[in-house]
Amino acid sequence: MGALTRADERVAPRADARWLVTTGGGQLLRWSLSVLLASSLLDAVTTRLLLTQPGHREMNPLARSLIDTFGLSGAVVVRVFFGVAYFLVLRWILCTQTNRALRVATGVVAVGAAAWWWMVVVNNAVLIGR
């Protein structure tokens, strides 16, 4: 049970994180993961700012239950933790898994989640600006 030889690598290719930076699709995924992480943090900040203003309330039932359970500050921490964990899991899959279908599906999830979460941040920012 020694080290893999070149022949072994052809049979069982190893996942390589470099593809995230060297391919066109990898650039999109890297950008999406960055947007996902940034928007999860911005969502927490804008939600906190918005809910401290009078007349605003949380419309997401899951977030409302988090606020009821942990308070506003605790719910914001949970949201940040969730966003960071989501980022780490998606990045781990993209960097370590060799199954192309799994990578493509993970990429679709990353792009969709980044777009959705960014829309939430923009919505919060618009409401704060009113």
pLDDT tens digit string along 36-93?
Answer: 899 989 999 999 999 998 888 888 899 899 999 999 999 999 989 999 998 999 999 9
Q: Are 83 and 117 in contact (CB under 8 A)?
A: yes
Higher pLDDT, 26 or 34: 34
Please check whether residue 15 lies inside any domain of the structure: no
* Length of the chain (residues): 130
Specify if 2 maps to a domain.
Answer: no
Residue 17 lies in a domain: no
3-25 per-position pLDDT tens digit? 555 554 454 445 555 555 455 56
Contacts of residue 98, defined as CB under 8 A and 6 or more positions apart, other chains included, come to 12, 13, 14, 15
Count of domains in the chain?
A: 1
Domain that holds residue 34: 27-129
Task: Give the burial class of 40: count Cβ atoms within 10 A of its Cβ; 0-12 exposed, 13-18 middle, 19 or more buried.
Answer: buried
Q: What is the pTM of this model?
A: 0.72
Centre a 10 Å sphere on the Cβ of residue 82 and count the other Cβ atoms it contains. 14
Tell me whether residue 77 is in a domain. Answer: yes
**Does residue 20 sit within a domain?**
no
Residue 4 lies in a domain: no
39 part of a folded domain = yes
Which pLDDT score is estimated for 3? Answer: 54
- Taking alpha carbons only, the member of 107, 130, 108, 126 closest to residue 118 is 126
